[in-house]
Structure 1
Amino acid sequence: FRLIGRRITLQTRFIVQQSLGQQGASGVLNLALYVLGITLAIEAAGALLLWLRWRATLPDGEALWYAIFHAISSYCNAGFDLFSGTDQGVLFGYGTDWFTLTVMGLLITVGGFGITILYDLWSYPADRNLSINTRLTVVLTVALTVVGFLIFMADASLHQNVMSGKGMMERASVGLFTVVSARTAGLTIVPLEQLNDATQMMILLWMFVGGAPASMAGGVTLSTVGVLVISVFATVRGLNTASAFGRTIPFETIAKAVAVMTVSTLLVTALTLFLSLRHEGNLFDVAFEVVSAFANAGYSLNFTGNLDSVGRYVIAFAMFWGRLGPLTIVVALAQRQQPTLIHYPEEPVILG
């Protein structure tokens, strides 16, 4: 807001509080302290588990450093990996270790949930209540993980790819981690360009969806997709309200979800077309690169090296937009809403 010359008004503070699920300024302060504490605790627990596993094959000091780095990278959905290109590379060692993949996968998932949802889950035993945002996020996380895992396993079984000839347990562990990491974490344990089209398309869609709002993940967010799905089902059933888990979703929320999805889709499409005009290459590879940047995933089908300086600026812009969030930018740039004094008569528009 400061960069674009706008004051952080009381209304803006209310928007921030609402996005974080808080009711007042004191709630925001308490949440900030909670964020710091729970983040350090989760990353420390993950680092300890990884260190206990890796110290058997690495010197204690080196194992500790690697454990801390990869715990933070996993929880923050950063996608950085210190093993790539070394003799201990993920593909040659820990990439098939179920314990390592489980710990890092859990860190990725927890980071993709976000602090407000973790706080909601932590408080559930006491108040026996979960917000609709938490319920949507958990349900969609499980659904996307299961569906993505089935697609990965089916594709590996029906077609020849990098996982062909591997044992069932290795396929399962690699497949599950790949699906979990696809939603903006960006950690790779198999060459993505050697996967089949169906799996690559699944990864692209999962990256676009991303994780929860106010989390470490990017994308259009699970809640946006969830609200749109609920709204579509309500429309198909002939209902004039969209509801789920015993709660009715306000029209304003549905309108914001439509705006986020529309702006994000148009942005990704425009940037993909622009890059495809400037660079030779497969259109899917270009789209994969743009969606990966928008979701802050860091994946690539070996197309990044083809970008010129303008192309790199375009990808950087997509990263900035995706990290800041489409809704945040739309709200920040929007003019202050004025009360509508004139209401024109309604007239239906033919659809379909």
Structure 2
Amino acid sequence: MKMPKVIKLKPSQLLVLTFMTGITLGTCLLKLPISTTEGISWVDALFVSASAMTVTGLSTVDPSTAFTMFGQAVIALLIQVGGLGIMSFAVLIYMMLGRKVGMKDRLIMQQALNQTNIGGVIRLVKYMFIFAFAIELAAMIFLAFVWVPEFGWVKGLFYSLFHAISAFNNAGFGLFSDNLIGYVGNPIINIVISFLFIVGGIGFTVLVDMWQKKKFRKFSLHTKIMLIATLVLNLVSMLVLFVLEYGNPGTLGSLSLGDKLWASWFQAASPRTAGFNTLDMGAMHEASLFYIIILMFIGAGSASTGGGIKLTTALVILLATVTFLKGRKEINIGRRSLDSGYIIRSLSITIVAILFVISAIFLMTITEDESFLEILFEVVSAFGTVGLSMGVTASFSSLGKLILVFIMFLGKLGPLTLIYSLATPAAKSTYRYPNEDILTG
């Protein structure tokens, strides 16, 4: 008897498959009568499940009213699994059972965590769970000081845990109809929530490096770049939004100076894939919205819970441009030079991302009746797995929602991972063609 042929999948294909499986299971759980207050459509269940698994935060229904506490717990579970990765939990189970993690599983983890080499991947997973659960637990305790007195022990602790998970994993799901607008001037909410999504967004590689080496001068180049760039970008963004929105009565205009500063800080850090908002996004000036779109497209750090093209990718492209304009051939930063392969990879990620985003915007301008800026904002928010919205997500057609589901999926896995999963391995060439110049610019 002939044995059936075993289908061998590449690590990138297995990664795509596991996320698709998680989204499907989440859709079925959210469609259960026990999960919703009045029932939701299959498309809306799929959208919310995909948004939670990809830690985006966009929603076609109001999570605070459409779902029961069970349904909200399902969303929190999907966020946690999606943020840390399905394969990370599989590796954790392997370690708990005392089983050895095979080479194929390590390759998948390398792909999922966006690591340049396979060494140290399992150690990174161990630290990842320790950091995640410890930080979320501490954050829940601090948030409980606000929400337990307001809602009681059960609901207050649940809200605290839900928002701690959502913030650390950069999901942006909130259990209030206006997200966190009602807490625009609350110091605890502003400090704890922004701390969570900044720490979750700089990447576990950075956290492990800081934990092990302690001193800044001993940190790796990647860690130094992420820490400095994150601080500078957040402070500059805070200043930009403070100036642009200062007199806007729909956002900062009606707030006290202290609340203006809190709101500016929070809204400056949030677009880097967090998705929480303490200001009404639909009331912002177009200049502010466009600036936020740029931040959402850039995204968080590599090996983090966030999406986007990643901050280091944007920095490599910027440095490559500056290097070219100065007439140099090598990118030098921090007394180190970057290999040309990183430049090609960064350009590839950015170009592929732009092509997918442009295609989605083009399709949705055909299928939807919303303005171009609103569609642009929602699509980039989906790609960056941010979750910020101008309030039009629920009004999209079923086709428009499915397009956003694909873009969220793309943004979480990364454009190159998705393409690698579909591409056929090319045969290695044993010859080279002669060089010839072409005109550019």
Please give the TM-score of this superposition, normalised by the length of structure 2: 0.72
Helix, strand or coil for the counterpart of 1:298? coil
Q: Name the amino acid aligned to 2:126.
A: L
Q: Name the amino acid aligned to 2:180.
A: V
Structure 1 contact 289–301 (Cα < 8 Å) conserved: yes
Residue in structure 2 matched with residue 188 of structure 1 by the alignment: 277
Compared CA separation, residues 222 and 196, structure 1 to 2 (3 A): same
2:256 is the counterpart of 1:167 = yes
Structure 1 contact 115–214 (Cα < 8 Å) conserved: yes
2:353 is the counterpart of 1:350 = no
Residue in structure 1 matched with residue 289 of structure 2 by the alignment: 200
2:136 is the counterpart of 1:46 = no
Q: Name the amino acid aligned to 2:122.
A: L
Compared CA separation, residues 95 and 160, structure 1 to 2 (3 A): closer
* Distance in structure 2 (CA, Å) of the matches to 1:246 and 1:15: 33
1:20 aligns with one of 94, 102, 115: 115
Residue in structure 1 matched with residue 389 of structure 2 by the alignment: 300
Q: Name the amino acid aligned to 1:226.
A: L
2:166 is the counterpart of 1:73 = yes
Residue in structure 1 matched with residue 200 of structure 2 by the alignment: 111
Residue in structure 2 matched with residue 60 of structure 1 by the alignment: 153
Structure 2 contact 11–107 (Cα < 8 Å) conserved: no
Helix, strand or coil for the counterpart of 2:229? helix
Task: Report the alpha carbon displacement of residue 16 of structure 1 after superposing the two structures with TM.
Answer: 4.8
Task: Report the alpha carbon displacement of residue 206 of structure 1 after superposing the two structures with TM.
Answer: 0.7
Compared CA separation, residues 127 and 208, structure 1 to 2 (3 A): closer
Q: Where do 1:95-244 residues align within 5 Å?
A: 95-125=184-214, 128-157=217-246, 159-244=248-333
Q: Deviation string for 1:24-48 (max 9, x for gaps)?
A: 3xx2222222111111101011111
Compared CA separation, residues 236 and 15, structure 1 to 2 (3 A): farther
Residue in structure 2 matched with residue 6 of structure 1 by the alignment: 9
Moved more, 211-220 or 116-125: 116-125
Task: Report the alpha carbon displacement of residue 233 of structure 1 after superposing the two structures with TM.
Answer: 1.3
* Distance in structure 1 (CA, Å) of the matches to 2:433 and 2:135: 54
Residue in structure 1 matched with residue 334 of structure 2 by the alignment: 245
2:404 is the counterpart of 1:309 = no
Task: Report the alpha carbon displacement of residue 8 of structure 1 after superposing the two structures with TM.
Answer: 4.1
1:291 aligns with one of 380, 400, 405: 380
Q: Name the amino acid aligned to 1:20.
A: Q
Identify unmatched segments of 5+ residues in structure 1. Answer: none
* Distance in structure 2 (CA, Å) of the matches to 1:246 and 1:333: 38
Helix, strand or coil for the counterpart of 1:215? coil
Residue in structure 1 matched with residue 122 of structure 2 by the alignment: 29
Structure 2 contact 296–380 (Cα < 8 Å) conserved: yes
Q: Name the amino acid aligned to 1:37.
A: I
Residue in structure 1 matched with residue 59 of structure 2 by the alignment: none
* Distance in structure 1 (CA, Å) of the matches to 2:228 and 2:387: 25
Q: Deviation string for 1:36-91 (max 9, x for gaps)?
A: 11111010111111113444444233322221111111101111111336xxx733
Compared CA separation, residues 127 and 221, structure 1 to 2 (3 A): closer
Task: Report the alpha carbon displacement of residue 299 of structure 1 after superposing the two structures with TM.
Answer: 2.0
* Distance in structure 2 (CA, Å) of the matches to 1:5 and 1:95: 51
Helix, strand or coil for the counterpart of 1:248? strand
Moved more, 214-223 or 295-304: 295-304
Residue in structure 1 matched with residue 180 of structure 2 by the alignment: 90
* Distance in structure 2 (CA, Å) of the matches to 1:341 and 1:44: 55
Compared CA separation, residues 306 and 5, structure 1 to 2 (3 A): farther
Q: Name the amino acid aligned to 1:6.
A: L
Compared CA separation, residues 100 and 127, structure 1 to 2 (3 A): closer
Q: Name the amino acid aligned to 1:34.
A: Y
Q: Name the amino acid aligned to 1:202.
A: Y
* Distance in structure 2 (CA, Å) of the matches to 1:72 and 1:111: 10
* Distance in structure 2 (CA, Å) of the matches to 1:63 and 1:306: 31
Structure 1 contact 21–116 (Cα < 8 Å) conserved: no
Q: Name the amino acid aligned to 2:323.
A: A
Matched pairs, number: 343
Helix, strand or coil for the counterpart of 2:332? strand
* Distance in structure 2 (CA, Å) of the matches to 1:5 and 1:154: 55
* Distance in structure 2 (CA, Å) of the matches to 1:319 and 1:201: 20
Task: Report the alpha carbon displacement of residue 297 of structure 1 after superposing the two structures with TM.
Answer: 1.5
Q: Name the amino acid aligned to 2:405.
A: A
Structure 2 contact 181–280 (Cα < 8 Å) conserved: no
RCO comparison, higher one (Cα < 8 Å, 6+): 2
Compared CA separation, residues 90 and 71, structure 1 to 2 (3 A): same
Helix, strand or coil for the counterpart of 1:96? coil
Please give the TM-score of this superposition, normalised by the length of structure 1: 0.90
Compared CA separation, residues 307 and 17, structure 1 to 2 (3 A): closer
Q: Name the amino acid aligned to 1:72.
A: I
